[in-house]
Structure 1
């Protein structure tokens, strides 16, 4: 009730009553400005000066014509009083009626009229009562929808705390008119855009397809942002939303019926051309877009911002992507391409210590860039028995063993790997080297692979999070080819290393299970994910034994380079000797090695030191 009184007090003290004839022909904004000027002077009456001439107030109120000069303009008063309208609203509130319909004329008219003068904000009402009495609307329900809608807006502005509404008939008439206007606007929009016009029964919905996609983009971006950091895996999803906007026309959501939804799906199901290569997009690429479309339409259907709802039979839309003759794979493409032991032997030989660490780690643990790039120092258990030994893990482990245990990114499935001696040696070297570069101790929760500035080498929030790994790997393969000859090693991506161990295990059922455990595939446990009891049914001991066997399989690689810290390139070895001796000036090293400083920088970069 206090809010009602505050509204009424403000409304009452802002009332200015004017001769209705004065309002004819005057724009509303002019009347509003003059009324506010009058209220600013707080002058209840405007009249002549003592000498009978026109004073400054009269000249200021010339917009009201004779009404302003002869005292016809008045204000309600200096102190608010309850009006019939305010008392009627108070009674509705007391009775618990919400929303409150437009008031009866018997309560409204006495509150907006003073003698024959009307509150300037309700001037439109005077036209309804200017003719013969039998032409006056007898009740509020007899108003036209236009007058009822205008009255609704005036009362809402006067009493904003009151939940006003119109009668159902007025609501229906108003909605029907504006729906017709909206339909005509949609037809015009479709015509100028050379689009098919909507059917007569199309629902009226605000917004367009592209506007909804932009909102969905922000929704997905927020979904992939955790603790203020964007997960790089979300870039692919956001890219697909951009593709929807770039490759499909914008239409009002009111026109997004079953037929148009089908057209959007068909565009991606039928494998449109790649704008760069001019060939059809891959089946996998289009299937990903179809899947994201499905998520978009579910979001749009449930979104509060858009009133769009999935049309009838929407679930009957076929989403299977078209298969093309060019999709047929050759028998040679069925086998997974990996490096042979001879290939790995050459790569390991020409790699620098930091590169050997990444190479060995991925072979040892079936990791790719996303896995090794997220390993933290606290995930390592060096020179000790397996942490689960005391919990019942049956594996012959001692203090000479080392382990890595972590949760796989995104899936949170636990993985454990026995680390080979060479992997441990390179890891310990890297720990000391990194502390020397950063000039500080490393924290347990820090990632193992950092840049010289202390930034994560694997950039989670980047669209291409593993660029650093890919670029370094490409340079290494180029160096091998340059030294050993063209075709010495196949040009396979860095991610191939993740598949080496599982591919070596083969497809026999028991070995395939080991491959799955090595890749940390499976269903995560909802409790403490690092407790042995939740994963005791996995063949950990067999996996660790298989890792030892695979290391033996790679023995020729280790025989060729007995010490993983020894650099094969004589020039690089000489540069590293100066570097390890404490010389950090590239020009000094270049002079001592009798090479250009650019060569020194490149060699240091290959070693991960520049």
Structure 2
């Protein structure tokens, strides 16, 4: 037998990475391993080798369980046949789908052939080369199978309950039927209001939809141990991102595997289908192997893209009042779009001492402000002490919301100018772009003056906040700050405070306030003032003021900053007017 854990060999002179998998007999009848060439990229070669390993393991399994008649002696070793070697060569070339030629088969025989291959080699994604013939044959086969199953059901009911595995073979439903029913279960369980689901539920629905895009439909009877493992194996192999050449991240693969396991457990519990977990279900492998890139990222000081202090300073300096609300809520509280968009007015406590400060071991005062709420995605309760500048911009946001009308205690803090919630789902149940579009504004203005400024998503602000808290207070406090973990099973606040040391979170935020003072100092003195629309970058405007203070004339300033004298003069008049208003 070949070794269980096969390894890549060193690249040949042409840069191809070889690996020896499986056995065959050469022209002299000697058993030799077949050498496959897996391309020149090491990470891709590892993924191809994993698929080859799984295919060969199945061939070994078939060899071990197959009973041969007396007149046909059993081969000494499992071996590559012309047919299986052809499939293996396609896997080695990176093919994810193996087409099956129709040949002389009629539609029924063609569909039966593909189904038989899928059952025999569940890790291989067989697809028809003649889709019309396959569709006709599959439809005919389903009709006949349903007739047989109904008859079998009648017999089964008349003779008593059958074992789970036999019941599953009588189930006429397929995988996509079960996934559709699972979608309805998820919508009911994670319903927010009306037809809206929570962000966590929406994430599950997106993965289920992806399953139907990436996997072929199959009868539920095919979900044996090998059938379940084959669905998971696709994600262990890290398929490519849709429409792109790069593979999905390890975290994405892990999330999809976890969702498959949730689906299997639901399918085992529900009475809508007869499927039951295989006896060896707990032995299904779910771990996603690390690639060389994954390991390299682990040793980097910054594994996730985040903002530095200088970049945070620029963001606060260039932001409008509304953009500053989003900025400081993200940095102070670690709130992403879903969290900020679902803040209710009654969850904000401005200038109030904490009522349970003694339980938390925390020194509080009437000047303290807090946001106290449950994070919708995780169901975890969290509290955040607001920095003075955060409290000030939140006060501005409350004032803005009251002007929009209907500002009841359970109203959302953030609405667009049109009166729509900031965080909402599209018709396809995907998160809206309101937050990201707002965040693009200060980024564009900064990049006009500082082209090297990074273009990061709005979600990276939450990552930045989590990293800052982790460095100051450790991983446990950072998890509480980010509302990670399991919900505390109690509605009593005293129980919540006993289980979660929010006082340590508050102390970490106070400590961070000192470190981030340059960020706060970069904001304009009047946080509520809406800046005028201007086409000259803020960097040049500040340079004009500096040169004027240095005694330069309008002509000299215009030459030094590359603007017309009229433009420079207009800016100087505006500056004088602002100074007069301030005094």
Give the structure-2-normalised TM-score. Answer: 0.58
- Structure 1 gaps of 5+ residues are 1-185, 574-593, 595-610
Please say if residues 374 and 381 of structure 2, whose CA atoms lie closer than 8 Å, have aligned partners that are also in contact: yes
SS at match of 1:457: coil
CA distance in 2, matches of 1:335, 1:397: 36
Summarize the Cα distance change of 1:227–1:246 in structure 2 as closer, same or farther, 3 Å threshold.
same
**Could you tell me whether the CA contact under 8 Å between 1:347 and 1:477 is conserved in 2?**
yes
- Spell out, residue by residue over 1:493-523, the C-alpha distance to the aligned partner (whole angstroms, 9 max, x if none): 2222223344334547x54444333323454
Match of 1:360 among 293, 307, 328: 328
- The correspondence of residues 130-149 of structure 1 with structure 2, limited to 5 A, is none
- Relative distance call for 1:344 and 1:314 in structure 2 (3 A) is closer
Residue 191 of structure 1 corresponds to which residue in structure 2? 112
Cα gap change, 1:342/1:257 in structure 2, threshold over 3 Å: closer, same or farther?
closer
Instruction: Provide the C-alpha distance between the structure 1 equivalents of 2:416 and 2:187, rounded to a whole number of angstroms.
Output: 27
Structure 2 counterpart of 1:238: 205
Q: State the partner residue of 2:490.
A: 527
Query: Are 1:451 and 2:416 an aligned pair?
Result: yes
Q: How does 1:482-493 map to 2 (within 5 A)?
A: 482=448, 484-487=449-452, 489-493=453-457
Q: Using a 3 Å threshold, how does the CA distance of structure 1 residues 315 and 351 change in structure 2: closer, same or farther?
A: same
Where structure 2 has 5 or more consecutive residues not aligned to the other structure, the ranges are 1-106, 121-164, 537-566, 568-583
**CA, structure 1 residues 352+533, in 2 after alignment: closer, same or farther (shift >3 Å)?**
same
State yes or no: 1:220 paired with 2:186: yes
Where 2:372 maps in the other structure, the secondary structure is strand
1:349 is matched with: 317
SS across alignment from 2:371 = strand
Shift of 1:334: 4.3
Q: What is the CA RMSD across the aligned residues, in angstroms?
A: 3.4
Shift of 1:481: 0.8
Cα deviation for residue 458 of structure 1 reads: 1.5
**Alignment partner of 1:480 is 2:408:** no
Equivalent residue of 1:407, what SS? strand
Q: 1:564 to 1:480 in 2, by over 3 A?
A: same
CA distances 1:349-372 after superposition (whole Å, capped 9, x unpaired): 111011111112222223222222
Structure 1 residues 385 and 198, CA gap change in structure 2 (3 angstroms): closer
CA distance in 2, matches of 1:197, 1:340: 52
- Are 1:320 and 2:287 matched, yes or no? yes
Aligned residues: 383
- 1:173-192 aligned at under 5 Å gives the runs 190-191=111-112
Q: Retained in 1: the 8 A contact 2:360–2:497?
A: no
Q: Give the match for residue 338 of structure 1.
A: 306
* Aligned pairs (5 A) from 1:573-592: none
Q: Of 528, 543, 559, which aligns to 2:505?
A: 543
Alignment of 1:16-35 (within 5 A): none
TM-score by length of 1: 0.56
Cα displacement string for residues 39-77 of structure 1 (whole angstroms, at most 9, x for unaligned residues): xxxxxxxxxxxxxxxxxxxxxxxxxxxxxxxxxxxxxxx
CA distance in 2, matches of 1:535, 1:382: 20
Q: How does 1:458-477 map to 2 (within 5 A)?
A: 458-459=423-424, 463-465=429-431, 467-477=433-443
**2:270 maps to 1:303:** yes
Distance 1:572 1:299 in 2: 57
Among candidates 475, 481, 484, match of residue 518 of structure 1: 481
